[in-house]
Structures are given as C-alpha cells and as structure tokens.
Amino acid sequence: MGREVWPIAYPRGEVRASDFRVVEVEVRQPRPGEVLVRNTWTSVDAALRLRLRETAPAGYFPAFPLEGPMDGIMTVGEIVESRADGFAPGDTVWHASGWRDYAVVEAEQQALGGVGTLTKLDVHAAPPQTYLGALGANGLTAYAGLLHAAALREGDVVWVSAAAGAVGSLAAQMAKIRGHRVIGSAGSDEKVRYLLDELGLDAAFNYRRGTLPELLRQAAPDGIDVYFDNVGGDHLETALGALRRSGRVAICGMISEYAAEESSHGPGNLMLAVTKGLTIRGFRGSDHTRLLPEMQRHVGAWVREGRIRCRETITDGLPQAPVALAGLLRGDNTGKTLVRIDGVTHLN
C-alpha cells in the first residue's frame, strides 16, 4: 500500500489542508517499459494553484481532478523495481508523479512538456533535491527566461520580482553572474536582507514598505532594461513605467492572480509598450526543454563553485504537502519549497 494526496475541493481563496485528503492505495507492479519508484522528495510550486481550479488557464497544464491523484508534479525518488531498459533498482530519478509515496512510471511517456519525463540523475554532482530546483524546472525557467525571453544584453539593468523565491532567486543570481546590475523585490525585510547579504544583489526592497514606483525609482533611479516577472499586477504596471526604450519583460508567472476568483484587468499604462518600443514575452520553462543539458552544465558548475546559493524551505511528511503549498502562496518560503517524504509505507 502507498499514500497519495488527493484534492477533494477546489480552494476558494487561500489553500487549506481541508481541501485535500491522504488516501491509501494499492501500488501495482510495473509492466514492461515501466519502473516502480519510491519517492523521497516532491516539489511544491506556486503554479500548482492554477491547476486547483475547475478549469486551468487556456494553454496550461490541465486542472487536477477532484478525488484523484495529482499527476504532473515534479518528484525525485529511487527505483525499487524496473522493467524498462536503461533503468535499474537503486537509480535515482526524477518524474512527474509527485505528492505520493510510490509511483509506477512509464519510461518513455512525456510529462510536463518533456521536463518531467523519467530521467536518471547524477547524485554525485548534486544532492537529489537540487534537481527539483536549480538543476531542474526552476533552473530551466530562470535560464530560458533571462537568455531567451528577455534576451539579456551587455549593460542591462534587471529587476526580478519575487526574487527570494525558487525561480526568482535563481534568475537574480544568474543575472549577477553575467555581470548585470540586479534589483530584487520581495515581501519581507528578512527576504530583502537575504537578497542583499547572501545573494549579493545590487539593490533590493520590500514592496510592502511604500509605493512600488517610488521604491523601484530609489533602487534604479535611471530606469531598468529587463523585468523578470513572477508577480504580475501592480508589479508589471510599475515595470512598464520604469523600463527604458527597447526594454524587455519576461513573464513566467503572475502569483498575484493565482487565487483570484476573477481575472484582473491589464496594466493601465500598456500604451508604454508602444511608445517605448518594449517587448513583452510570456514563456514557460517546459517550452525550452532543449536547453536543459546546457542549463545543467552551466548552473551545475555555478552551484559547485558556490556562485549560486540554493536556499530550501523544507516540510517533512507527505501529508504536509498542502500546508507547504499554503505557506508558499502566503510568502512564507525562501528559495525552493520542498516536501521530504518520510514515513513511507512498506509494500506488501
């Protein structure tokens, strides 16, 4: 038997533990081409909130069904039994069947646009959970967003919102490594200290400490060239006002809208995209899976050299996954949010 976390109601506003239940299920044996994985770490990402709706946004991954497993969550584990070529018991892998103890995974089945397809991991190069953050989908999102969606140019001044989060902290550090002036924003004074003292950003501010346009003006008096957007809403509107001519916006998330009952109106100053010749580009890391090996080479080296710091907010116990998600959406986390799956039941 194994445990799975199932949604039983779509959250209205804040995510609550009562919107989920932990279910014991039979774990079947793998068939030809499949492996059985004992999960050890599972990811918690703000974008899961988009799938905890009756209907997910058009073009996004589908909504999670009620009273069923939540397929499409990145996870790391160890193969217990294999009937697939190239995989053996004891191999550490990632896959996209998270928020459960055990998963039967088809080796060739594409998941999450390819980024979640069953993959063997080099745990000598980095701890297993790093592949759920800096060396996984979060790292790919930051890397692709900066280099491709934002098309970083020499001398660019970069603003990253939610810069203490899983993707934002990586994007900010990558931009610093490439020699840019980087400004980060976050929702607490503690996170601002983290951005300045540990990540070494050039400037940072708590967006709750004043009006956004003035806070950004103090941090970047001459304006910005790139805005890496994790928040949307008033942050995006502020960025449009601060961007210099031919500036670029790379939008990978809009956490300010994830729990909204109704879609918000767009920025009131969107005409600036015309008058300033701005480029606004939305993207997803899963659209750039071809860059994964390149990203892992570069980011893996930066992690080993200590040039990229990987702060983790860890919650212990599979049943606590919904609690970890609620905390992330409130802004309680710093860096990557993870659940360490302990108390795994033994297969009969």
Q: Are residues 92 and 153 in the same domain?
A: no
Contact 45, 166 (CB under 8 A): yes
Average pLDDT over residues 200-220: 98
Closest to 105 (Cα-Cα) out of 123, 128, 86, 122: 86
Q: Are residues 97 and 147 in the same domain?
A: no
By residue count, the chain amounts to 348
Average pLDDT over residues 302-326: 96
Average pLDDT over residues 311-323: 97
pTM: 0.95
Q: Are residues 230 and 277 in the same domain?
A: yes
Q: Are residues 159 and 239 in the same domain?
A: yes
In the prediction, which pLDDT does 342 show? 78
Question: How would you classify residue 335: left for phi > 0, otherwise alpha for psi between -120 and 50, otherwise beta?
Answer: left
In the prediction, which pLDDT does 292 show? 96
Average pLDDT over residues 248-266: 83
With a cut of 90, say whether residue 261 has pLDDT above it. no
Distance CA 291, CA 115 (A): 10
Q: Are residues 84 and 154 in the same domain?
A: no
**Tokens linked to 15:** 């995510």
**Residue 248 domain flag:** yes
Closest to 159 (Cα-Cα) out of 99, 235, 271, 214: 235
Q: Are residues 145 and 125 in the same domain?
A: no
Write down which residue in 251, 271, 286 finishes a domain. 286
**Residue 304 domain flag:** no
Number of domains in the chain: 2
What does the mean pLDDT of the chain come to? Answer: 95
Average pLDDT over residues 312-324: 97
Distance CA 168, CA 174 (A): 10
What is the CATH classification number for the domain harbouring 318?
3.90.180.10
Q: Are residues 126 and 141 in the same domain?
A: no
Work out the pLDDT band at 158, boundaries 50, 70, 90.
very high
The per-residue pLDDT for range 115-125, each reduced to its tens digit, is 999 999 999 99
The per-residue pLDDT for range 52-75, each reduced to its tens digit, is 999 999 999 999 999 999 999 999
What is the DSSP track for 142-174?
Answer: HHHIIIIIS---TT-EEEESSTTBHHHHHHHHH
Instruction: Read off the DSSP letter of residue 195.
Output: I
Q: Are residues 242 and 156 in the same domain?
A: yes
Q: Are residues 89 and 201 in the same domain?
A: no
In the prediction, which pLDDT does 124 show? 92
Contact 158, 145 (CB under 8 A): no
**Residue 300 domain flag:** no
| 3-class DSSP state of 123 | coil
Work out the pLDDT band at 348, boundaries 50, 70, 90.
very low
Other beta carbons within 10 angstroms of residue 23's beta carbon come to: 15
**Residue 270 domain flag:** yes
**Residue 252 domain flag:** yes
How open is the CA angle 182-184-185, to the nearest 5 degrees? 160
**Residue 122 domain flag:** yes
Average pLDDT over residues 295-312: 96
Q: Are residues 126 and 148 in the same domain?
A: no
Q: Are residues 163 and 257 in the same domain?
A: yes
Average pLDDT over residues 130-157: 97
The per-residue pLDDT for range 231-256, each reduced to its tens digit, is 999 999 999 999 999 999 999 999 98
CB-based burial label for 303 (10 Å; 0-12, 13-18, 19+): buried
Q: Are residues 128 and 145 in the same domain?
A: no
Range of the domain at 152: 137-286
**Residue 293 domain flag:** no
In the prediction, which pLDDT does 266 show? 79
What is the CATH classification number for the domain harbouring 274?
3.40.50.720
With a cut of 60, say whether residue 346 has pLDDT above it. no
Average pLDDT over residues 179-190: 98
**Residue 305 domain flag:** no
Work out the pLDDT band at 301, boundaries 50, 70, 90.
very high
